[in-house]
Structures are given as C-alpha cells and as structure tokens.
Chains A and B, each alone.
Chain A
Amino acid sequence: MKNLLKKEILLTMHPTAILFLFLSALLIVPNYPYYVTFFYTGLAVFFTCLNGRENNDVFYTMTLPVAKKDIVKARFILIIILELLQMLIAVPFAFIRQNIGLPGNAVGMDANIAFFGFSFILLGIFNVVFFGIYYKDVKKVGKPFAVSSVVIFVYICIAEICAHIVPFVRDCLDTSDNMYVTEKLVVLIEGIIIYAVMTAIIYKKSRRNFEVYDI
C-alpha cells in the first residue's frame, strides 16, 4: 500500500490538488459562501482522476504486482488525506475570521464548528456521488464530476438558505463559536460520522465495481 500511495502522490495526483488545499484560506474572507471552499476539494479529486485517465494510470498500475482492490484503496486514502487536510488547514482561518471583530458572514453560514460538521457531510455526499459513478467506468471522469457538482451545488444552496430562514440554524448554529457550543459540537460529530459512514460504504461499492470492470 505504501508503494501505491507513493505512486498516487508522485504520478497521479494533479499538482492543483496541493494548490486547492490553500484555498482553505477563503474562510478568512469576511463575506463568502464558505462551503464553496470544499467544492475545490472535489475539483482536486476530479483533476486527479482525469490526470490518471489521460496518463493511462489504470493500465500502468494493473501491470504492477498489486491487487485490483488495492488500487481503489490507494485512491481513497489519497482522497481522504486531501479532504482532511483541506479541513485541517481551514481551521486556523476560521478561527482568525471569528476573532477579527467583524460581524458574521452576510452571505450565509459562519465559519464555525457547525459549519465544519456540515462541510463533512458535503464531502461525504461528494464521495458517494463521484465515486459511485466513477468506478463503474473509470474512462468517464466528466460524468461523475458533472453530477457531483450539481448535487453539491444544491446542497450548498439548501445549507445557505437554511442559515437564513430555518430558525434553529439561523439563531443557534449560524453564530459565533462562543455561543451554543454543545449544539455545534453535536453537528460536527454527526457530520464526521456521516462522512465516515458514507465514504466507507462507497469505498466498498467502488471496490466491487472496479473488480468486475474490464480495462
């Protein structure tokens, strides 16, 4: 697995995947739909899979002494690392944004603890939609990205609208982190669990789909 991860990082991962990680800094912008930051993570996944397709990655990897299921495992580990790094790098910027004395985000959700919970759900949904389609036919990268982008767009719209019109989200979750910490922590933990469960399920399904896929 170490070798496959090395292959993923040195050959397959698109360089923009690293650049997009730094877009976590968008959380410092005073007014911005902060969820969009995690759309860029999806874009990095898309570019990486596209880079793989354009470079005959599956053929190359299949000639190596590796099991087919491990090819999927390595890709998922890389993607999970990227997603978690995106979150991790975003934390200090969210902290700074909350403490520079400006009013809350006028566009939608504040970059607070609950926001990270909702963002985990966003990434979980992305993984399910993108990899659910991608591993049925790894030659078609555009379709999973198009469908997952639409789904993510709808999710972001709903999440941001809720921050304006649903009283619990607006008055409790979309607030500064010195208020309603327990409620926000519950959302964060639930978000992490949903992300983990969704990713685990789609990982298993992807392994099955790729196993029967003819290259």
Chain B
Amino acid sequence: MNVLEVKNLCKNYRDFSLKNVSFSLKPGEITGFIGRNGAGKTTTLKSLLNFVHPTDGEVKFFDKSFADNEFDIKQRIAFLLGGVNYYLNKKLKIITNVTKSFYQNWDNKTYEQYMRQFNLDENKTPFQLSEGMKVKYSLTLALSHNAELLILDEPTSGLDPVSRDEILEILMNLADKGITVLFSTHITSDLEKCADNIIYIKNGEIIAKDNIDSFTDSYKVIEFEENSISEDLKNKIIGLKRAKKGYTGLIKGENKPLFNCACTDATLEDIMVHIEKDEL
C-alpha cells in the first residue's frame, strides 16, 4: 500500500507551473522534498490537500482518492507549515481544546505524554515558544490524533542546529514506529541525517526521486585549476562554478575516470547547488 500516491499533478499560474508532479510514499519512510525557494515545494504540498486547486492530476492517500475521502483522510494525516503559526496569542490549552474536538482518534494520554516529553507548558502561548518548541507542539497535536502521515513544510527552517537535530531525531523515532514523513526543506544536510528518499523539484518539475544514498552516490564533485580541463570535458560538467581556489563542478559518477583532478563524494547540497547553477 502507498501512503501517498501523486500522479501527474499540474497547477498553472500566470508565471509558474507545476508540471506532471508524480511520486509515491511507502509506510514508515522519511522522504525529503527538496528544491530551491520558489521551485514549487509548498505549492505541491498545498495541492495535495486541495489548499490549492490542481489544474490536473490525481492524489490518493492510503489508496483512496482525496477528493472523495477528504474527511477520513484528514483524520489520518497532519500538515504542518513549519511550527504552530496560528493563534499565536492563545494559550496552548485552548488551541488543544479546540483542535482535539475535530479528531475521532484523539488520545489524551499520548498528548500528555508528548507535552511532558517536549517540556511544553499548556499555559503558554505559541508566541512565548521558541521556533523549535513551536514545531514540537505541532508534532504533539499531530501525534495525539494518531496521524499516520506527517507532511511537513520546512519544519527546521529558522531553527538552531541543536533544535534541528532534536526534531530530526524525533522524526526518525516516529518513522521507526511506522509513521510516514514527507518533509520539504532546502536545508539539505538535515535530509542526509534522517531521510530514506528524496524528491527533487526544480521549476515545478520533479527532476529526481530516488533513495537518498543512491542519488548522492551517482554524482561526484571535482575541483580543478583554470585551463586544466579541456573544452570537451567541460561539457560533461554540471554547474561549473568558482571556488575558493579554481573551479568546482558536478559530474556523473560514471564520468569520474575521464577527469584527472581532485574528486570527492557529492553531498545533497553540492548536487543541488550545481544543478541549480547549471541553468544559469
């Protein structure tokens, strides 16, 4: 069973389009959704839940069409846009009190357990919480209604490294319990620490969806001095750019033997930076 299956999702704006976005998620896996700012990550996520009306395409959660089963599906998932970013001046206990009345599977014990675990005080307002605590409160609400799929839009943006690491650890623990996570971010190093798969979107198109290790292994980064590479070989370089000393570029792993220069493993950030640079 696919937790989420997206087929040929399209959305046309005057100056931007999502083009045939397709992907699927398996239970208990963390999938990173990467792309630069404005690539279409948030539009895709919003289209999944009809916040934004897709021009075309099909979205199925738990093998059921979202359009026909919106109520049931929303009972089983959670969509977090960063941390709690609504009703910042209301006490958490009021937000919880309102939120829980919408969920059939709300579990007060789980809620209290996570509130304790995350050191969240119900008498505080979201405004009084740090960014990391806001994410934790959002996660608490999601987990208290037993969400099986978490869709997180930039949950770690704006967080300090320690808080980010904490959130990633929480997500990994949740995945171990069988919860599926779709996690959009442009902080690629976060994904290297926790994700199983990545989906890479560029200009509204999915340009890669793969296991994260296979994806990073398929590229190498080369460093070279000016004029040390022939023009022919330069054509095989993706996103040639200036570095502190000389130049760097991304190459496909299979082209590595052609280059007689310093060659290192590519990180997700290297891949993204060079691929985005290649367009310019």
Contact of A214 among B51, B74, B86 (CB under 8 A): B51
- Max chain A Cβ within 10 angstroms of own Cβ: one of B70, B75, B88, B101: B101
Give Cα A212 to B53, complex, Å: 7
The chain A residue with its CB closest to the CB of B71 is: A65
B49 interface residue per 8 A CB criterion: yes
B95 interface residue per 8 A CB criterion: yes
Taking a contact as CB atoms under 8 Å apart, the answer to whether B74 and A6 are in contact is: no
Give Cα A7 to B97, complex, Å: 9
- Could you say which residues of chain A place their CB within 8 Å of the CB of B102? 3, 64-66
B103 interface residue per 8 A CB criterion: yes
Give Cα A66 to B267, complex, Å: 41
Contact of A55 among B75, B88, B98 (CB under 8 A): B88
Give Cα A212 to B72, complex, Å: 21
Give Cα A63 to B101, complex, Å: 14
Number of B residues contacting the other chain (C-beta, 8 Å)? 28
Q: How many A-B residue pairs have CB under 8 A?
A: 61
Tell me whether A6 and B98 are in contact in the complex, defined as CB-CB below 8 angstroms, given that A62-B51, A214-B51, A214-B53 are known contacts.
Answer: yes
- Could you say which residues of chain B place their CB within 8 Å of the CB of A64? 74, 99, 102
B46 interface residue per 8 A CB criterion: yes
A11 interface residue per 8 A CB criterion: yes
A168 interface residue per 8 A CB criterion: no
A22 interface residue per 8 A CB criterion: no
Taking a contact as CB atoms under 8 Å apart, the answer to whether A55 and B53 are in contact is: no
Q: Smallest CB–CB gap between B139 and chain A, Å?
A: 13
Give Cα A215 to B81, complex, Å: 13
Taking a contact as CB atoms under 8 Å apart, the answer to whether A6 and B101 are in contact is: yes
A10 interface residue per 8 A CB criterion: yes
A57 interface residue per 8 A CB criterion: yes
- Could you say which residues of chain B place their CB within 8 Å of the CB of A60? 86-87
Give Cα A132 to B102, complex, Å: 29
B85 interface residue per 8 A CB criterion: yes
Give Cα A59 to B102, complex, Å: 15
Please provide the chain B residues from 30 to 85 with a CB less than 8 Å away from any CB of chain A in the complex. Answer: 46, 49-53, 70-72, 74-75, 78-79, 81, 85
B94 interface residue per 8 A CB criterion: yes
Taking a contact as CB atoms under 8 Å apart, the answer to whether A62 and B49 are in contact is: yes
Q: Smallest CB–CB gap between A3 and chain B, Å?
A: 4
- Could you say which residues of chain B place their CB within 8 Å of the CB of A11? 87, 90, 94-95, 98
- Could you say which residues of chain B place their CB within 8 Å of the CB of A59? 51, 81, 85-86
Give Cα A212 to B54, complex, Å: 11
Contact of B97 among A10, A55, A66, A212 (CB under 8 A): A10
- Could you say which residues of chain A place their CB within 8 Å of the CB of B78? 63
Q: Smallest CB–CB gap between B15 and chain A, Å?
A: 14
A99 interface residue per 8 A CB criterion: no
- Could you say which residues of chain A place their CB within 8 Å of the CB of B94? 10-11
Give Cα A10 to B99, complex, Å: 11
Q: Smallest CB–CB gap between B130 and chain A, Å?
A: 19
Q: Smallest CB–CB gap between B145 and chain A, Å?
A: 9
Give Cα A57 to B90, complex, Å: 12
Q: Smallest CB–CB gap between A166 and chain B, Å?
A: 48
- Max chain B Cβ within 10 angstroms of own Cβ: one of A10, A64, A215: A64
Contact of B74 among A10, A57, A65 (CB under 8 A): A65
Contact of A65 among B51, B52, B97, B103 (CB under 8 A): B103
Give Cα A11 to B99, complex, Å: 10
Give Cα A66 to B73, complex, Å: 11
Rank and list the top 8 A-B pairs by shortest CB-CB distance, nearest first. Answer: A65-B74, A60-B86, A56-B86, A215-B51, A3-B101, A214-B52, A64-B102, A55-B87
